[in-house]
Amino acid sequence: MSDLVPLLSNLLSSGLLAGGVLALAGTGETVVERAGVLNLGIEGFMAVGAVAAIAAVTATGNLWLGVAAAVVLGLALGLVLALVVVLFRVDQVVAGLGFSFLGSGLAAWLGAPYAGTPAAVTFARLEIPVLSDLSFFGKAIFSLPLPTYAAFLLGPVLVHLVLFRTRLGLGICAVGENPAAADAAGLPVVALRCLCVAFGGMMAALSGAYLTLVLVPTWSEGLTGGRGWITLSLVIFAAYRPLRLAVAAFGFGLITALGFSAQVLGVAVNSAFLSALPYLATLSIMLVAGHRARRTARPAGLGIPFEREPH
Partner 1 sequence: MFDGYRLERIRVPGARRGALFRLIAVLLALAVAAAVLALLGHHPLTMGRDALAYTFGSALGLQDLGSLVAPLVMTGLAVMIGKRVNLWNIGGEGQFYMGAWAAAGIGIFVPGPAVLMLPLMALAGAAAGMAWIVVPAYARARANVDEIITTLLMNFIAVLIVGYFATGPWRDPGQTISASSRPIQFALPGLYGDLNIGIIVALALVVGCWVLFTRTAWGYEASYVGANTDSARYAGIPAARRVMATLLLSGAVAGIAGAIEVSGTVSRLQVGISSQFGYFGIVIAALAGGSFPGIVLAAFLMAVLINAGIILETQGLSLNAVIALTGWLLLLTGIAGVAAGYRLRRVHPRTGKVSA
Q: Which is nearer to partner 1, 43 or 183 (CB)?
A: 43
- Of the pair 100, 122, the CB lying nearest partner 1 is at 100
Nearest to 17 by CA among 116, 184, 148, 130: 148
> Is the Cβ of residue 102 or residue 150 nearer to partner 1 in the bound state?
102
Nearest alpha carbon to residue 117 among 29, 24, 212, 7: 212
Q: Which is nearer to partner 1, 63 or 84 (CB)?
A: 84
Smallest gap, in angstroms, from Cβ of residue 283 to partner 1? 5
Q: With beta carbons less than 8 A apart as the criterion, state whether 129 and 1 touch.
A: no
Amino acid at 207: S
> What's the min distance (Å) between Cβ of 77 and partner 1?
11
Contact 35, 196 (CB under 8 A): yes
Read off the DSSP letter of residue 113. Answer: G
Minimal distance in Å, beta carbon 271 to partner 1? 8
CA dihedral 27, 32, 38, 42 (to 10 degrees): -50
Residues making contact with partner 1 (CB under 8 A): 40, 44, 84, 88-91, 93-95, 97-106, 108-109, 112, 221, 225-226, 229-230, 232-233, 236, 270, 272-273, 275-276, 279-280, 282-283, 286-287, 289-291, 295
Give, for 172, the enclosing helix (H) or strand (E).
Answer: helix 167-177
Q: Which is nearer to partner 1, 4 or 272 (CB)?
A: 272
Task: Report the C-alpha gap between 51 and 107 in whole angstroms.
Answer: 6
Q: How far is the CB of 111 from partner 1 (least distance, A)?
A: 9
Q: Minimum CB separation from partner 1 for residue 140, in Å?
A: 29
